[in-house]
């Protein structure tokens, strides 16, 4: 459900009932919608940054769907402040459980089970190219069906190096490399390992902590590897960390952000892999692949990933319509730094998905000198626009993707 942005003075259409938590990234409140009366968790973000980045990130987070991940229901701006509207998960967080029952920590088996469930949530979000960046007991709520990962106000698309990135996280749970702006899923491995340490001992670890723990040797070895100062020496994934502590993750119950329709001669798993990889490589909130219908000359969107994927798949564009149509006609890739200022942007697509992207990159898919479709990526999650250098990289990616598809399909 999404509510209209009838923003009034203060906190928009929401009435605040009580504070839930506060931190360096903002404050979270228990609130209710003034018209529907539905209770939500409303996060007021304090971090600076561009409107583009906020919009792109919020839309991507709203597409996540997993029983162990809080749902982001909506987002809006009011009087210069930015807000995320999240599902309200009733239950104590693990910090509260530790405070109430820790002696000083929790039993190892119980702590491992909580962390196992947290790893299920993180494995899903990492597969969607998102890093949480603030994994800690306070952000893990024990709901009716187990642990739920909450507070995605600091989530970011992961990159190998992000110069000038604000240092965001909680001391004791923040991976050391975050101070240098290096963000990857291994940051969350550190956070979940620090969470397990805290649940067992009652206090977060310090870098290089050699405190003796009364835990099985394999758990201690897993903690040491998960808390390694050098990310290259740290456990590479939350799945590997869970295995190291002897925890078996349940089969992935999350909804894939990729959508597709049956395409003659191209398996759905293959076409969905292309758009998923494109989003990751180009740090995008959404990506799509459209193929030319030879009988009509229309572009038919066969697969999409991320924000608006469900609405995009199946759309048809008349020949030459929109940026994608222009690229299909010319055979030349284009980077649009500001879609909202580009008159070619297809209003039909905007009407279908409910928004106009801030920036996009579109390149042709070419076989034997002929254009057979287009690949598009939309909304860089760092808020910057795509440029000419990105066109060259995207064209190489598209050629490689089509080559792999041809090999898989046995095309000559």
Residue numbers annotated as active site: 134
Beta-carbon contacts of 38 under 8 Å, excluding residues fewer than 6 positions away, are 1, 32
Rounded CA gap, 258 and 274, in Å?
Answer: 10
Token pair recorded at residue 202: 């009652």
Beta-carbon contacts of 311 under 8 Å, excluding residues fewer than 6 positions away, are 352, 353, 354
State in Å, rounded, how far the first CA of the chain is from the last one: 48
Q: In 3D, which of 74, 205, 67 has the Cα closest to residue 149?
A: 67
Q: In 3D, which of 89, 134, 133, 137 has the Cα closest to residue 110?
A: 137
Burial class (CB in 10 A: 0-12, 13-18, 19+), 164: exposed
Q: In 3D, which of 27, 134, 158, 130 has the Cα closest to residue 86?
A: 27
Q: In 3D, which of 320, 317, 323, 286 has the Cα closest to residue 301?
A: 317
Beta-carbon contacts of 88 under 8 Å, excluding residues fewer than 6 positions away, are 30, 39, 40, 41
Could you identify the residue written with the tokens 């995207």? 394
- Residue 162 neighbours by CB distance under 10 Å: 17
In degrees rounded to 5, what are phi and psi of residue 134? -145, 50
Residue 382 host element (H or E): none
- Which stretches of 79-224 are assigned E, i.e. beta strand? 81-87, 130-131, 140-143, 146-149, 156-157
């Amino acid at each position: 459900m999404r509510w209209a942005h009838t923003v009034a003075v203060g906190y928009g259409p929401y009435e605040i009932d009580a504070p839930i938590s506060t931190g360096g990234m903002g404050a979270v409140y228990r609130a209710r919608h003034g018209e529907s009366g539905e209770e939500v968790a409303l996060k007021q973000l304090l971090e600076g940054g561009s409107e583009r980045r906020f919009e792109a990130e919020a839309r991507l987070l709203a597409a996540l769907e997993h029983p162990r991940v809080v749902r982001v229901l909506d987002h809006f701006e009011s009087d210069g402040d930015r807000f995320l509207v999240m599902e309200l998960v009733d239950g104590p967080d693990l910090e509260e459980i530790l405070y109430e029952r820790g002696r000083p920590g929790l039993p190892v088996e119980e702590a491992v089970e909580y962390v196992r469930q947290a790893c299920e949530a993180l494995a899903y979000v990492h597969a969607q190219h998102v890093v949480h960046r603030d994994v800690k007991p306070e952000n893990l709520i024990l709901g009716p069906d187990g642990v739920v990962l909450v507070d995605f106000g600091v989530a970011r698309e992961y990159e190998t190096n992000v110069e000038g990135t604000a240092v965001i996280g909680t001391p004791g749970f923040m991976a050391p490399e975050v101070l240098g702006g290096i963000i990857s899923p291994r940051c969350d491995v550190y956070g979940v390992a620090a969470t397990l340490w805290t649940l067992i001992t009652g206090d977060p670890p310090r870098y290089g902590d050699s405190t003796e723990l009364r835990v099985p040797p394999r758990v201690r070895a897993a903690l040491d590897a998960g808390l390694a100062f050098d990310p290259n020496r740290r456990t590479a994934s939350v799945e590997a960390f869970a295995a190291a502590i002897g925890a078996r993750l349940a089969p992935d119950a999350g909804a894939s952000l990729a959508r597709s329709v049956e395409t003659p001669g191209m398996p759905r798993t293959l076409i969905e892999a292309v758009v998923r990889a494109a989003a990751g490589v180009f740090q995008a909130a959404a990506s799509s692949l459209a193929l030319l219908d030879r009988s009509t000359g229309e572009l038919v969107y066969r697969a999409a990933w991320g924000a608006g994927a469900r609405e995009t798949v199946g759309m048809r564009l008349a020949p030459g319509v929109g940026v994608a149509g222009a690229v299909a006609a010319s055979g030349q890739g284009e980077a649009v730094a500001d879609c909202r200022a580009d008159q070619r942007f297809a209003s039909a697509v905007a009407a279908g998905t409910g928004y106009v992207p801030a920036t996009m990159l579109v390149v042709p898919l070419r076989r034997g000198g002929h254009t057979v479709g287009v690949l598009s990526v939309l909304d860089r999650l760092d808020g910057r626009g795509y440029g000419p250098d990105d066109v060259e990289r995207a064209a190489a990616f598209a050629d490689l993707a089509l080559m792999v598809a041809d090999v898989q399909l046995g095309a000559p």
